[in-house]
Amino acid sequence: MNPVPVFMYHHVSPHKGDMVTVTPDVFEAQMRFLKEAGYRTLSVDELVEIADGNLEIKEKAVVVTFDDGYLDNYVYAFPVLKKYNIKATIFVVTDWVEKSSEFVGAYGHMPPLHNHGECKRLINEGKLSVSLLAKRVA
Count of Cβ atoms closer than 10 Å to residue 7 Cβ: 18
Helix (H, G, I), strand (E, B) or coil at 62: strand
Residues of the domain holding 62: 6-133
Structural domain includes residue 138 = no
Residue type, 37: A
Domain count, the chain: 1
Residue 104 falls inside a structural domain: yes
Question: Reduced to 3 states, what is the DSSP secondary structure of residue 128?
Answer: strand
Asked if residue 62 is part of any domain, the answer here is yes
**Does 2 have pLDDT greater than 80?**
no
| 101-131 pLDDT, tens digit each | 444 454 444 455 555 566 566 666 655 565 5
Let me know if residue 13 belongs to a domain: yes
Find the CATH number of the domain harbouring 113.
Answer: 3.20.20.370
- In this predicted structure, the answer to whether residue 135 has a pLDDT above a threshold of 50 is no
Q: What CA–CA distance (Å, rounded) separates 25 from 13? A: 9
Extended strands (E) in 47-127: 61-68, 88-93
Q: Which residues of 32-53 are buried (b: 16+ CB within 10 A; e: fewer)?
A: eebeeeebebbbbebbeebeee
* pTM check: above 0.85: no
Indicate whether 83 pLDDT > 50. Answer: yes
Position 109 scores a pLDDT of 45
**Gyration radius from the chain CA atoms:** 15
* Nearest CA-CA partner of 1 in 41, 66, 52: 52
In this prediction, residue 74 carries a pLDDT of 82
Say yes or no to pLDDT of 136 above 50.
Answer: no
pLDDT at 1 over 70: no
